Amino acid sequence: MDPSLQATADQLTQARAQSDPARLADALLRHANALAVAGQLAPASVALDEALQLQRHRGARDDVLRCLLLSAELLRLQGRRAEAGERAREGLAMTAAGTVDHAQAQAVVGEIALSDGDAAGAERAFDIALAIARDAPAWWRSRARARAALGRSEEAAADLEMARDRWLVLNDDAAARRAAIEAATAWRRASRIERAAQLVTATIAEARAAGDESALGALELLNATAALERRDAEAARAHAQAARTHALAARAPDTYVGATVALAKLAEHAGDDTTAYGTLATGWATVSDLLGPELARAAFDPPLRELRLRWGSERFNAARAAYESGRRAQA
């Protein structure tokens, strides 16, 4: 067992041996948090439910509210959204408008709405939360997700830049870079290409200084996309290759797959069928080795099927044969 999880389990055992409901509730809450960190969400919910019942019995209003909101989040993460909504609404009803508690409850309601696909409801909840407490970067990011889903990319990008700035204040530079990458993506969707490029350039410098391979991969992929839109195939290829290299170092599957598919398309457009097929086949093998065959199949089977449909079986099989022949020759 993880040492921190074992420690909270031991504390819980000790608390059960005493007749102190407050101490037991606190031990249950600590153990629920440790279980959640360990990814054991269902047992965490069970522990939190017991803590909630104890706090209700004690009439400890603040502790009941804390348990309700934590429980709602855990239930949401398990996909139990109806139960999560009930807990969140109960917690919200306990708070007074304009208070920090109300903001926190609205944020939980907003996250559940996002999970339900209710972007408008999520935006309303985060509007209220941010009007009360503007320093929570995660809330800005979540409202950006809602606004992006509503097709308002420019507002989403502005929210993401606010999230970046607040993570910088909190000295969480890695989170700030992730928000900057998302903001640049949103600015591109809003056709604010110059602002997106400025943000990418600034963030690449920060990521290089920090040795952040994951961020560098995502940023180089954005550069590849921009180069493709300029019809600069050589630059697009260089950026996509850099993105793939950084993504492999970071074990960032989404960026790796995106860069690999981009390289395959560039090869196809250049008339190099063998490289186009081989790039996807090699990507499949690499992801399978690193992250397992199921993820590799999910990532690369669709683009290979699309290639076969575009080319037809004869051309596709010829490219595959040429690629496999080249591999045997190298071996």
Q: Mean pLDDT over all residues of the chain?
A: 95
On whether the CB atoms of residues 223 and 238 are closer than 8 A, the answer is no
**What is the reported pLDDT for 1?**
67
**What is the reported pLDDT for 4?**
86
Kindly state the average pLDDT of the residues 151-161: 98
What stretches of the chain show up as alpha helix (H) in DSSP?
3-16, 21-37, 41-58, 61-77, 81-93, 100-115, 119-132, 137-149, 153-169, 173-189, 193-210, 213-229, 233-250, 253-269, 273-291, 293-311, 313-330
pLDDT in tens, 160-196: 999 999 999 999 999 999 999 999 999 999 999 999 9
What is the model's pTM?
Answer: 0.88
